[in-house]
Chain A
Amino acid sequence: MSTAAATTRSEPATDVGPPSAEPTGTAAGGWDQVERRARASQSFWTAVVGVPAIFSVLRLGVEAGGELQTTLLLVANVGPVNLLAGFLTTAARLLSTVLVAVFALGGVLAASAHGMPRRPLLARWMEITPSWFVTASFLIALVTWPLLYLPLLLPTLAAAFQLRPERLHEHPVVRALIVAAGYAGYLWLLLPTLRIAWREGATLPILLLVVPPLLALFVAGPLPGVVIRPLASVTQLAVLVVLAWAALPVISTPVLPLTVTTVGTSAEATEEIRGHVVTTDDVNMVILQERGGVRYVPVEQVRGQVLCPSEEELPRHQLRIHDFHVEDSLLEGLGRRVRPVHRMDAACR
């Protein structure tokens, strides 16, 4: 299967277009390829639907604190659409990161793996994935990644689509001028942020903002044979390990919003319950407490309820790019402009 793929591609280093655009070779080879692609497409869509579904159910188990009855209570009350939407909200960043990493590595490996008896897995994935899907993954990354990490999209994009600076202009001097002007403009945009980062001694943010655009100029192109073999095997393993490492926090991210509910029988004797509201009916409000356990609170005893942030949302850096916090994604940054005042209720403390 892989040999057929390798032999039928006329320009594996640069061809990243949709499968139909590729030449097919012999009739038997064509059928084989059509069948292979149909199967790949099936498994692809199975994974796209199945992985979030399985993740979501796993998350319910974690959210319930490992208790079977609590898990069943959540299953009974959290609708599948809410579950999937909740999953996509919290996991879009992880999913796009994994896809971008796979496509970037796949692009590099595909460009370098000429003459290898068996093409690396990531290169094959890259080849069978429709280019609209690769583009969509990059667009999702663009709007969901924190601004601080966004520059990394440039080298990964150049690697995935094997974009070389030669495409900018055929004349080297004009090309150099275009690149220099673009980079100068980019630095000018970031100058206030870089100045503050320098003053604070924040080396990593400076590197993450300044270096990636330069890497994008060189990242496309075949790697030497000495590098490609270890890279192919190591990166496949690394992607799996990173996926597992990054998936853990996503599995443990709550499905339901965190609230503090004030309950009490009189004005003086009140209690504040910190947890996630599972459901409310005419008689009870069911709260899954943050520290575990389910509370059934009679609705007439509920005095108030506030929405609270979780400690995972605390910023790690104090840097801003033109008043956009570096840890906000473009979507979050725009959202904060629509609703600029976020007042945290004191009951959340």
Chain B
Amino acid sequence: MGESVSRFRYRSVATTAAVALTLLLGAAAGCDSRQEPELPSVQEKLRESHIWGQPVLRIGVAEDEPLMGEVRNGVHVGFDVEIARYIAASLGYVGDHRIEFVSVSTEDRIPALQGGIVDLVVSSFSITEDRKKHVSFAGPYFVTTQEVLIPTRHRDTIRTIEDLRNPKYKICTSGGSTSEAELEEHQVPMLVVKDVRDCVKGIRAGRYDAVSSDLTILAGFMARHPKDFEIVDMPFGTSELLGVGVPIGDPALRDLVAYFLHKSYQQGLKGEASPWQTAYNRTLGPWLRVEKRQPPPLDVPELVDFDDKVPQR
């Protein structure tokens, strides 16, 4: 009898505790369902960025870097331009009427961002510690190396970095580029011009003997003049990480660009046709000897977006 009373008591205490806990958990679930997401959303970042409310997005691109960024029949084409279009579309700027492509030379990329002339720069912009003091980078979206483009007339004479140091050869490069710093480090005397295009023109006119730049840019000129030039693989030893330049005062925009580059990277990992892969196949792909893949972007923020609930498998 006493045992059954104590069991009844134990039971009613347990029931009380269970009912109270169920009510508590129910209330917690109710509060949870009304809370804002813990992570910032893409929309929030967009509202924070300086492009919010802008009717068009101004993107700095190269206008005469074949395969990367050039104007053909009045339309901007190239790998950088395709990447720029993908980022713009992801940010809500679909179609060329919502994008203003601004041609920027190699040396004008940082001033254009600092001066507010462009909102983004997608123009073979190598990520370096020195440049990070002036602009922010999202990416990398491509990893390339520094190489040398020579005219076929020098096919047998310019083969090594030592050959570049020979004073009888005039080596050309574009001002403000990483190639300029790299040649300097290897004590290669050089002539600095505004763009790689000017170097190529100069070689064709006989003023210069070789041009050093990123493989991607050189491959473009190779594609334009396949019979006149040759790319020489030289052991400069550094890889160039190409990133999207963003004004240093707009971390929200940098985060958004990094997020969308990462989204494309993940699509590629899953074997889907990512925007990056499509851009690559349409432009650079056929002209590079070694097949490239999209590198994983760095410092990607965790953001919440509308398609986060979509099945991942």
List the A residue with the shortest CB-CB distance to B92. A349
Question: In the complex the two chains form, is B306's CB within 8 Å of A344's CB?
Answer: yes
Binding-face segment, A28-36, A177-185, A188-196, A320-328: A320-328
User: Can you list 29 A-B pairs with a CB-CB distance of less than 8 A?
Assistant: A149-B33, A155-B22, A159-B19, A204-B28, A207-B25, A208-B32, A215-B21, A218-B11, A222-B12, A223-B15, A223-B16, A309-B306, A314-B37, A315-B308, A316-B37, A316-B38, A318-B302, A325-B309, A328-B309, A332-B309, A337-B311, A342-B310, A344-B307, A345-B94, A346-B90, A347-B94, A348-B92, A349-B91, A349-B92
- Cβ-neighbour of A340 out of B25, B34, B310 (below 8 A): B310
Q: A204-B28, A346-B94 are in contact. Are A223 and B306 (CB under 8 A)?
A: no
Docked Cα-Cα span, A337 to B30, in Å, equals 27
Q: In the complex, what's the smallest C-beta–C-beta distance from A146 to chain B, in angstroms?
A: 7
Docked Cα-Cα span, A215 to B29, in Å, equals 15
- The prevalent SS among residues of B at the interface is helix
Please encode chain A, from 301 to 329, with 1 for each CB lying within 8 Å of some chain B CB and 0 for all others: 00000000101011111101001110110
> Is B144 part of the contact surface with A, judged by Cβ < 8 Å?
no
Residues of chain A within 8 A (CB-CB) of B26 are 101, 152, 156
Which chain B residues have a beta carbon within 8 Å of chain A's beta carbons? 11-19, 21-22, 25-26, 28-30, 32-39, 41-43, 46, 89-94, 97, 302, 304-313
Question: In the complex the two chains form, is A246's CB within 8 Å of B30's CB?
Answer: yes
Residues of chain A within 8 A (CB-CB) of B29 are 148-149, 152, 208
Question: In the complex the two chains form, is B18's CB within 8 Å of A314's CB?
Answer: no
> Is A211 part of the contact surface with B, judged by Cβ < 8 Å?
yes
Residues of chain B within 8 A (CB-CB) of A212 are 22, 25
Tell me which residues from 81 to 117 in chain A have a Cβ below 8 Å from any Cβ of chain B. 101, 104, 108
Docked Cα-Cα span, A320 to B313, in Å, equals 12
Which chain A residues have a beta carbon within 8 Å of chain B's beta carbons? 101, 104, 108, 146, 148-149, 152, 155-156, 159, 204, 207-208, 211-212, 215, 217-224, 227, 231, 242, 245-246, 249, 267-268, 270, 309, 311, 313-318, 320, 323-325, 327-328, 332, 336-337, 340-349
Residues of chain A within 8 A (CB-CB) of B37 are 314-316
Residues of chain A within 8 A (CB-CB) of B92 are 346-349
Residues of chain A within 8 A (CB-CB) of B43 are 311, 314, 349
Residues of chain A within 8 A (CB-CB) of B15 are 218-223
Residues of chain A within 8 A (CB-CB) of B39 are 318
- Cβ-neighbour of B309 out of A152, A219, A327 (below 8 A): A327
Counting chain A CB atoms within 10 Å of each CB, the highest count among B22, B29, B34, B43 belongs to: B22
Q: A218-B18, A221-B15 are in contact. Are A146 and B308 (CB under 8 A)?
A: no
Docked Cα-Cα span, A346 to B41, in Å, equals 15
Q: A218-B15, A313-B306, A315-B304 are in contact. Are A320 and B312 (CB under 8 A)?
A: yes
- Cβ-neighbour of A311 out of B12, B41, B97 (below 8 A): B41
Q: In the complex, what's the smallest C-beta–C-beta distance from A252 to chain B, in angstroms?
A: 13
Docked Cα-Cα span, A224 to B38, in Å, equals 40
Docked Cα-Cα span, A224 to B13, in Å, equals 8
Question: In the complex the two chains form, is A343's CB within 8 Å of B311's CB?
Answer: no
Residues of chain A within 8 A (CB-CB) of B91 are 346, 349
Question: In the complex the two chains form, is A242's CB within 8 Å of B309's CB?
Answer: no
List the A residue with the shortest CB-CB distance to B17. A218
- Cβ-neighbour of A336 out of B13, B16, B46, B309 (below 8 A): B309
- Cβ-neighbour of B311 out of A156, A268, A340 (below 8 A): A340
Q: A155-B22, A219-B15, A344-B307 are in contact. List 12 more A-B contacts (CB 8 A).
A: A108-B19, A149-B33, A159-B22, A207-B25, A219-B19, A231-B19, A314-B306, A315-B309, A318-B308, A336-B310, A346-B91, A349-B92
Docked Cα-Cα span, A85 to B91, in Å, equals 34
Docked Cα-Cα span, A268 to B22, in Å, equals 59
List the B residue with the shortest CB-CB distance to A309. B306
Question: In the complex the two chains form, is B36's CB within 8 Å of A316's CB?
Answer: yes
Residues of chain A within 8 A (CB-CB) of B307 are 342-344
Question: In the complex the two chains form, is A323's CB within 8 Å of B311's CB?
Answer: yes
Counting chain A CB atoms within 10 Å of each CB, the highest count among B13, B16, B313 belongs to: B16
Q: In the complex, what's the smallest C-beta–C-beta distance from B18 to chain A, in angstroms?
A: 4
List the B residue with the shortest CB-CB distance to A336. B311
List the B residue with the shortest CB-CB distance to A306. B94
Docked Cα-Cα span, A224 to B19, in Å, equals 12
Counting chain B CB atoms within 10 Å of each CB, the highest count among A219, A231, A249 belongs to: A219
Q: In the complex, what's the smallest C-beta–C-beta distance from B172 to chain A, in angstroms?
A: 41
Question: In the complex the two chains form, is A346's CB within 8 Å of B25's CB?
Answer: no
List the B residue with the shortest CB-CB distance to A93. B33
Residues of chain B within 8 A (CB-CB) of A341 are 310
Residues of chain B within 8 A (CB-CB) of A220 are 15
Q: A208-B25, A344-B307 are in contact. Are A218 and B14 (CB under 8 A)?
A: yes
Question: In the complex the two chains form, is A215's CB within 8 Å of B18's CB?
Answer: yes
Question: In the complex the two chains form, is A316's CB within 8 Å of B312's CB?
Answer: no
- Cβ-neighbour of B16 out of A104, A146, A227, A242 (below 8 A): A227
Q: In the complex, what's the smallest C-beta–C-beta distance from B255 to chain A, in angstroms?
A: 15
Residues of chain A within 8 A (CB-CB) of B28 are 204, 207-208
